[in-house]
Structure formats: structure tokens, C-alpha cells
Amino acid sequence: MRPGWTTWAMGSVVLGLGLAVSGHAATPDVVETRSAQGDVALTIYNGMALIEDVRRIELPKGLSRQEFPDVSAQIRPETVTISAPGAAVVEQNFDYDLLTPSALLDKSVGQDVSVVRLGPDGKEVATTAHVLANNQGAVVQVGNRIEVLREMPGRVVYSGLPAGLRARPTLSVTLDADSGGARAVGLRYLSRGFGWKADYVALFDEGAGKLDVQGWVTLTNTTGTSFANARVMLVAGQPSGDGDDGNAVVYPPQRRRPIGNRMGTGGEDGRETLGDFHVYPLAGRTTVANAQTKQVSFLNVAGVPAQKLYQYRNDWQHSAEEGESVDTVLAFTSAKDGGLGDALPAGTMRVYMRDARGNPQFVGESPLPHTPMGSDLALKTGTAFDVKVQPTVEKRERITGEEWQRVDQWRITRNAEAPVTYTVEAHPTYWRTQMAWKVTNARAVPVEVDVIQDGLDNGWHDTRVSAESQPGRQLSRDSRVWRVKVPARGAVTLTATIDTRY
């Protein structure tokens, strides 16, 4: 690893996203308000989390109402389970009507409050006001006048706290204990408002063909509640439910993935699994505070073999009046030998390269899907400035049935399937399309460009490439690729004849 890369990468992440915590030395944070929580464990999916909170509580014998403040404000009450040795749960309620200025006024409708204002002599004067409504501001009656409270100077004083308001989200439970005494009461529930994603920072050395990669987990908590000194475990994947899987990276239809991606069959990556999901426990304990973005390092690998590729995909019968930039693709593997050596949770990889002065500069980014260990990866990082392809439909004409039969040997078949016999009652019409792709390279070094022609199948299932200026390789029924070598500051024209039924 080059000196300064780790420090630079960590500094960039911290400045951009806030607090960074090493996954190998996580330390407890400080929470300003003392929490009523006990021993807390968080299993965070994306969009939700399983929260386990064990508190030591003194229970009297028989029925008693116990309150559990500082639960998540986005708790799913129907998922709550409580375990209390020697006690049965009779009833549970989630009190989410939190204490706010607006809630105080709502609860005071129909009652009197005091409005304290400064008098002409500079002393405070309290006036009794009857609250009529609280809709976009409180409407009150003061003597014979109707006034809007938000337009009145001064402050409102309440005689007491209305029933039902809570300073913190609280779960209240009625327990029936067979004996009195202190015991550990376990609270377990699902909550919305949690999320995590992976971000990767990569430094690519094109000359050496090496890649340095750091992986960061970004945690978010928007539940309205902080969880201090918690054991945290992250799950890559999403169980069925109402949590959205933000970890899943999907390429939209107009953004096809580069060729060269191959999902691996795993290996001894050392990661814990939970059912069909990968688990990433954070070392030590950490605080996941409300409204906080926290980052934890989980991957740091240097010197991974990698190469830059150029790829161009062309739609069926697409012609261009001028050259179009090719995609720049970064190819590497997640294999244990010669690769990153780990399973990769979905996220975004941001790629940097050093400029002539040795400073890392951003050159592109790409989404990364959940990737098992041993996979081959090809990620588009941008488009090339000086390597272009100009596709041209040079000719398209009808051909005879005899000509169709003559080029039968060029039929594209899949998996050595048996030939299909077609029976027709009329003369079918066949089409021959002559394509040319002019590949230009304005760089001072030779390049290789993968030219990919899509749309060959289109439901015809009998497309034939009857001539080509250099051998190609069939990626699928729908796509064929040619690797074109282009000299420095030169140009090469690839041609092919494609016969179709339509």
C-alpha cells in the first residue's frame, strides 16, 4: 500500500460523512441524557432492526404495571416479546404521544392556561386564557377577546402536565409475577428507522495493474431514540417484510451492466451467516445515536490485481453520425487468491487514480450488488475521452430462401440444441444487415476495445452471423462481442454481416 493512501482515504470519508469508527477498535460514545435502557443488542437490516434490551427490574408479587422508557419511537408494537422469569405478560401498551409544545396545547384545548407577558412597568403579568383550538396556532379567549396565541407576546404557563404525554417513547407492560424480587427482563422488538450500506474507496494504479480498496459501513438511525454502548450486528440482505432493501443495487434497463461480471460460488471468507444472509458483527460496543451517521471500517486490502477495459454496446440497427465514447470498465475479482478475498455487501465503489503530481483524484463510481466471494467484477467508472466507436448500418436488404439455406452453417445455436424444423405455407422473407464499427484511438498507447452488438435475437431465435472481419464470441443469443486492437493514434474498422428472419 502506498504511504498516505490510508490516511487520505479515511480523512475523505470522515469529512464527507461524519464520524468514523474502526471496526476493530469500536469504543462507546457518550450520550448526554441518561437512558433507561439496559444491555442492548442491535441486529440491523436495511430499513429496520431487531432490538434486544435486557433490563434489571424489581417486580412485586402479583400484578404490576412496568414502564420501559427509551424504546424506539418507530417500534412495531405487534412484534414486541417480553421474557421475565417467573412472570406472565397480561397487557402491553406503546405510549407514543410525546411531550412537545404543540402536544401540550392540544391536550389543553377546553382548559385554562396562563399567558405571562411584560407589563408597561417591565414586570411580568399573568393573564388567564381559555384555549379554544390549536390548529396552525392556538386560538384562545382572553376576557371578551379572541386572540391567536402565536401572535401574542409572552409565554404560556401550564398548571400541570396533561395525562398521557410522555417525555420519551415508552412501552408500558402489565406483568403478573409469582414472587417478588429483582430479575432480568428481556425486551425484544422490531423497529423501523434503521439502515446501513457499504461504501468502497478504491485507488487504482493503471501502470502497475493494482487496486487498493477500503470498505466502510455507514449506519443511520432515524428512530428518534439513541442506543448507547450496544452490541451491533449488520445483516447483508433483506428478509421478507416491510423493510426496504436499500442494499440491493439494481441496474435500470437503460444502464446495462458491463460484460465480465460472473458471480462466484463463495469460499472460506470467514463471514458469519444467518440463514441465507451474510452477517457483519462489529467488534466491541458502540453507540448508535439518533439522527447520526456513523461509519465503521470492515475491509482494507492492498495490491489487488486489476485492469482497465474499454467496452462499447450497440443496439440493433443503431447508427451514429459521429464517434461515441466507450465505457471505461474496472475489472478485478473478490476471490481469496489474487482478489479482495471477501464477500462484498451491496454499496457504491468510488475509484481514484493519482495524477501527475501523485495526488489521488476521483475518476468515477459504480453501484456494486451483493457479491459472494470468488466473483469476477467489471464496474463501469465512466466514459473515455479519446476512445470512440462509430456504428454504421451500411446496408440492409432482403435475401432469398436459397441464400438463407446457404448460410445455414452460421446459425447461432445454444447448448447444442437439436435443429428446429420450420414449416411455412408462403415464401418467408429474410434480411441481411451489414454493420461496420469504426473504432478510433487518440491516445499515445494502443488499446483494446470490446465491441458488443446487442439485439441479435429479438425473439427470432435464428440469427446468423454469416461474415465478420475478425472472429467474435457469442455472449448470448442476443449479444456478440469482438475484441478490437487499435494502435496508438489510429483507427480500425470492424465489419460483420448479420442475417435475420425480420
368 in any annotated domain: no
pLDDT over 70 (residue 197) = yes
Enter the DSSP assignment of 162. Answer: P
Shared domain check, 90 and 126: no
Instruction: List own/partner pairs for 115-120 with CB under 8 A and 24 or more apart.
Output: 115/140, 115/142, 115/149, 115/152, 115/154, 115/155, 115/156, 115/157, 116/154, 116/155, 116/156, 116/157, 117/152, 117/153, 117/154, 118/153, 118/154
CB-based contact 92:206 (threshold 8 Å): no
Phi then psi dihedrals of residue 222, to 5 deg: -120, 30
- Please give the DSSP secondary-structure letter assigned to residue 106: H
pLDDT at 240 over 80: no
Instruction: Answer yes or no: do 144 and 52 share one domain.
Output: no
Round to whole Å and give the CA distance between 443 and 490.
9
**Does residue 132 lie within any of the structural domains?**
yes
State the amino acid at position 332 in one-letter form.
Answer: F
The answer as to whether 140 is a domain residue is yes
Same domain membership, residue 93 and residue 109: no
With the C-alpha atoms ordered 5, 9, 11, 12, is the resulting torsion angle positive or negative? positive
Q: What is the pLDDT of residues 410-443, one digit of tens each?
A: 656 555 565 555 554 555 678 999 999 999 999 9
Q: What is the pLDDT of residue 247?
A: 44
**Tell me, what's the pLDDT at 125?**
81
For the chain, the helix, strand and coil percentages under 3-state DSSP, each to the nearest 5: 5, 50, 40
Give residue 463's pLDDT: 85
Nearest of 340, 11, 342, 5 to residue 205 by alpha carbon: 5
What is the pLDDT, as a whole number, of residue 157? 81
Q: Tell me how far apart the alpha carbons of residues 443 and 386 are, in angstroms, rounded to a whole number.
A: 6
Q: Are residues 52 and 152 in the same domain?
A: no
How many CA atoms does the CB half-sphere of 370 hold within 13 Å? 14
Phi, psi of 217 (to 5 degrees): -100, 125
Query: Would 281 be classed as within a structural domain?
Result: no
Do residues 313 and 273 lie in contact, with contact meaning Cβ atoms separated by under 8 Å? no
Residue 125: CATH number of its domain: 2.30.30
pLDDT band for position 245 (cuts 50, 70, 90): very low
The DSSP symbol for 13 reads H
Distance CA 85, CA 83 (A): 7
Tell me the average pLDDT of the chain.
81
Q: Taking 60 as the threshold, does the pLDDT of residue 337 lie above it?
A: yes
Q: Is residue 34 assigned to a domain?
A: no
Query: Structurally, how many domains does the chain consist of?
Result: 2
Residue 415 lies in a domain: no
- Whether 406 is in a domain gets the answer no
C-alpha distance from residue 16 to each of 9, 12, 46, 200, 220 (Å): 11, 6, 21, 13, 15
Residue 292 and residue 306: Cα distance in Å, rounded? 35
Q: What is the DSSP letter of 75?
A: B
Residue 498: inside a domain, yes or no? no
Is residue 109 located within the same domain as residue 151?
A: yes
User: Same domain, yes or no, for 94 and 112?
Assistant: no
Task: Encode burial over 130-167: b for 16+ CB neighbours within 10 A, e otherwise.
Answer: bbeebeeebbbeeeeeebebeebebebeeeeebeeebe
Q: What angle do CA 393, 394, 396 make, to 5 degrees?
A: 80
Is the backbone of residue 291 left (phi > 0), alpha (psi -120 to 50) or beta? left
3-state secondary structure of 458: coil
Structural domain that includes position 111: 101-157
Under DSSP, the state recorded for 122 is S
pTM: 0.67
106 and 64 within one domain: no
Q: Are 244 and 236 in contact (CB under 8 A)?
A: no
pLDDT in tens, 10-58: 333 332 222 333 333 343 343 344 678 999 999 998 889 999 999 999 9
**CA atoms of 238 and 277, how far apart (whole Å):** 8
For residue 42, what are the contacts with CB-CB under 8 A and spacing of at least 6? 49, 50, 51, 52, 194, 227, 230, 231, 232, 233, 288
Average pLDDT over residues 332-351: 90
Of the segments 57-66, 367-376, 417-426, 438-447, which one has the largest average pLDDT value? 438-447
Same domain, 110 and 144: yes
Q: What is the pLDDT of residue 282?
A: 84
How does pLDDT run across 378-388, given as a tens digit for each residue?
999 999 999 99
87 and 131 belong to one structural domain: no
Distance CA 168, CA 70 (A): 6
Q: What is the length of the chain?
A: 502
The answer to whether residues 53 and 143 belong to one domain is no
% of the chain at pLDDT higher than 70 = 78
Higher pLDDT, 235 or 302: 302
Say whether both 150 and 115 belong to one domain: yes
Residues 55 and 149 in one domain: no
